[in-house]
Amino acid sequence: MDVIHLSAECYPVAKVGGLGDVVGALPKYLNQAGINASVVLPYYDRKFVQENTFDTVFKSSTTAAGKTFNYSVLKESTRQLGFDLFLIYIEGLLDRKEIYCYPDEIKQFISYQVCVLDWINKTKMKPDVIHCHDHHSGLVPFLIANSSLFKDLAMIPTVCTIHNGQYQGWLGWDKVAYLPSIDLSKAGLLDWNNCINSLAASVKCCWKFTTVSPNYLKELSVNSNGLEKLFQLEARKGIGIINGIDTQVWDPETDPMIVKNFNAKTADQGKKENKKSLCKEFGLSDTKPLVVFIGRLVGEKGAELLPLAIDSCLKKYKGKVNFIVLGSGEPEIEKELEELKLRHKKQCGVYIGYDEELSHRIYASADFLMMPSRVEPCGLNQLYAVRYGTMPVVHRTGGLADTVIDMDDSGGYGITFNKLEAEELVNAVGRGLEVYKDQNKMSDLRKKMMSLDFSWGRSAKEYIELYKNLIISHAV
Ligand code: ADP
Ligand code: GLC
């Protein structure tokens, strides 16, 4: 079975958040299970691309976003990621460093999607499924079904996975001419609230859509940044499949980025040594419980609560806890965190920026990881934390509710709280500090967390089942 994944991110080529992790891992696990899954990304002028070799496998020209242009398809030559990786290159448009936030982003992603379809069409490739991730490839299911250019592809089943329904790829109706040769009588499929909405079009036109946790699927019908009604209407097409993690990349026993490798048996000592080194780097004492946050500093992650909650913890649990925050995002939150660091130099370390290696060292060193997310479609941080024996402290929402069981409940290993308020987070951290006093209990909880299996193995099977059902339904 041939499955083509379309995405803006894929670790280690291009990652901003969890989308990159998922698209870098799921196709690898699908290949291990016998599915020929490949990934097609826009070309990025980034480290991975600069340092590896690519063969040009196709060259052509097409028209999109109001322009006719040449494009090339490059293929990574060694298959080192465990799947075939293709990049769409367009000089001056898809040859840049950053993944998002260019003023002509609309042109970039429309051109990317049209090139992918043009390439599949002209080479007469016959993928069994095209799997689109988030809104950046959300117009593909519409184009396949409603552009005369791609009528030969119309019977290819499409799957759309929603990693984040907050961002929807909106464009004004004046941009409809950017889409080549479409049947304008079907333009209503592109519309949501009087603008072209790429994610809504994807949900309407795909054969099936998935969300990255079952709970998030339920939440979208009541909270999805304006698309609630759509998710209610299309509910029968939706399936919630929880993300997995790449246990080959995220393995404390072999992770080359951490100071001391460890497993469930050696976790107590191993984590201590990692913590010692990390705390030294941040100028903190290593004898106290270490509570951390890693992530985008935005409202979705509840990051605006951090400055107040950390400040309150440092007062309420004076001398009994240290914090480290790694992240970047809204300037106001960044500023408040920097000020917090200055006020509590010896208790709070803050690194504003993105640092993959540092994130691994933090997961390996920390005792507790906070996730006060307001919206969390799945969340991977809590899964990495658990794998590295770090107890997650989470707001019970989205995928966090599906993956973290409170330590007071049967089979539990984490700390959950229900109300998204700084005080609730402070109390949740307090529960962590209480259990930390009993090092035997802490050690048992660590072992329990590290024995859990959140690997992609299980979830990849659910995607395979979905693909098979689509292919069967299409054959009938
Ligand atoms: P989201 O995709 O919404 O940001 P996830 O929990 O799914 O959230 O995934 C976040 C991923 O990005 C994890 O791999 C996390 O470790 C990583 N990450 C987030 N912020 C940073 C950062 N500042 N530095 C390094 N890694 C980060
Ligand atoms: C999104 C979500 C996050 C999820 C990730 C991978 O960025 O915000 O919750 O884990 O995608 O699916």
For ligand 1, the distance from its centroid to the CA atom of residue 163, given in whole angstroms, is: 13
Using CA positions, which residue lies closest to atom 7 of ligand 2?
Answer: 18
Q: Does 91 sit in the ligand 1 pocket, CB within 6 Å?
A: no
Pocket of ligand 2, candidates 19, 225, 371, 386: which has the most ligand atoms within 8 Å of its Cβ, to mutate? 19
311 and 240 assigned to the same domain: no
Q: Does 215 sit in the ligand 2 pocket, CB within 6 Å?
A: no
Beta bridge partners of 240: 211
156 and 95 assigned to the same domain: yes
Structural domain containing residue 6: 2-244+457-475
Phi, psi of 64 (to 5 degrees): -160, 160
Task: Give CA–CA dist 23/84, Å, rounded.
Answer: 12
222 and 273 assigned to the same domain: no
Q: Is residue 257 part of a domain?
A: no
Three-point CA angle 183, 188, 192, nearest 5°? 140
Pocket of ligand 1, candidates 133, 292, 354: which has the most ligand atoms within 8 Å of its Cβ, to mutate? 354
Residues 398 and 378: beta-carbon distance below 8 Å: yes
Q: Is residue 256 part of a domain?
A: no
For ligand 1, the distance from its centroid to the CA atom of residue 281, given in whole angstroms, is: 21
330 and 447 assigned to the same domain: yes
Task: Give CA–CA dist 141/159, Å, rounded.
Answer: 8
Q: Is residue 250 part of a domain?
A: no
Residue 187 parent element (H or E): none
Task: Give CA–CA dist 175/109, Å, rounded.
Answer: 13
Q: Which residues contact 151 (CB under 8 A, 6 or more apart)?
A: none
Task: Give CA–CA dist 424/266, Å, rounded.
Answer: 33
Using CA positions, which residue lies closest to atom 10 of ligand 2?
Answer: 379
- What pLDDT is recorded for position 476? 66
268 to each of 303, 379, 438, how far by Cα in Å?
29, 25, 13
255 to each of 20, 32, 133, 304, 447, how far by Cα in Å?
19, 21, 28, 31, 18
For ligand 1, the distance from its centroid to the CA atom of residue 327, given in whole angstroms, is: 8
467 and 438 assigned to the same domain: no
Using CA positions, which residue lies closest to atom 3 of ligand 2?
Answer: 379
For ligand 2, the distance from its centroid to the CA atom of residue 353, given in whole angstroms, is: 19
For ligand 2, the distance from its centroid to the CA atom of residue 379, given in whole angstroms, is: 5
For ligand 2, the distance from its centroid to the CA atom of residue 18, given in whole angstroms, is: 5
Q: Which residues contact 27 (CB under 8 A, 6 or more apart)?
A: 3, 5, 37, 38, 39, 81, 82, 83
Q: Does 164 sit in the ligand 2 pocket, CB within 6 Å?
A: yes
How many domains does one find in the chain? 2
Q: Does 379 sit in the ligand 2 pocket, CB within 6 Å?
A: yes
Pocket of ligand 1, candidates 9, 247, 255, 294: which has the most ligand atoms within 8 Å of its Cβ, to mutate? 294
Q: Residue for token digits 């509840």?
A: 302
Q: Is residue 146 part of a domain?
A: yes
Peptide bond into 331 cis (omega under 30): no
278 and 208 assigned to the same domain: no
Using CA positions, which residue lies closest to atom 18 of ligand 1?
Answer: 295
Using CA positions, which residue lies closest to atom 12 of ligand 2?
Answer: 163
222 and 299 assigned to the same domain: no
Give the dihedral of Cα atoms 298, 425, 352, 345; nearest 10 deg.
Answer: 150
398 and 324 assigned to the same domain: yes
Q: Is residue 251 part of a domain?
A: no
Q: Does 24 sit in the ligand 2 pocket, CB within 6 Å?
A: no
72 and 27 assigned to the same domain: yes
20 and 56 assigned to the same domain: yes
Task: Give CA–CA dist 87/119, Å, rounded.
Answer: 12
Using CA positions, which residue lies closest to atom 1 of ligand 2?
Answer: 163
Task: Give CA–CA dist 2/83, Å, rounded.
Answer: 11
Q: Is residue 54 part of a domain?
A: yes
**Successive 10-residue mean pLDDT values, the chain, 476 residues:** 98 97 98 98 98 98 96 98 98 98 97 98 96 98 98 97 97 97 97 98 98 98 98 98 97 98 98 98 98 98 98 98 98 98 97 98 98 98 98 98 98 98 98 98 97 95 98 81
312 and 431 assigned to the same domain: yes
Mapped onto helix, strand or coil, the DSSP state of residue 236 is helix
Q: Name the burial class of residue 472, with classes exposed (0-12), middle (13-18) and buried (19+) by CB atoms within 10 angstroms of its CB.
A: exposed
The 10 Å Cβ neighbour count of residue 222 is 9
DSSP summary character for residue 135:
G
Q: What are 214's two structure tokens?
A: 């079952």
Task: Give CA–CA dist 326/429, Å, rounded.
Answer: 18
Residue 17 parent element (H or E): none
Q: Does 19 sit in the ligand 2 pocket, CB within 6 Å?
A: yes
Q: Does 7 sit in the ligand 2 pocket, CB within 6 Å?
A: no
For ligand 1, the distance from its centroid to the CA atom of residue 177, given in whole angstroms, is: 36
- What pLDDT is recorded for position 474? 77
279 and 235 assigned to the same domain: no
For ligand 1, the distance from its centroid to the CA atom of residue 355, given in whole angstroms, is: 10
Q: What are 155's two structure tokens?
A: 């019977």
The domain that contains 438 carries what CATH number? 3.40.50.2000
- What pLDDT is recorded for position 268? 97
Q: Is residue 359 part of a domain?
A: yes
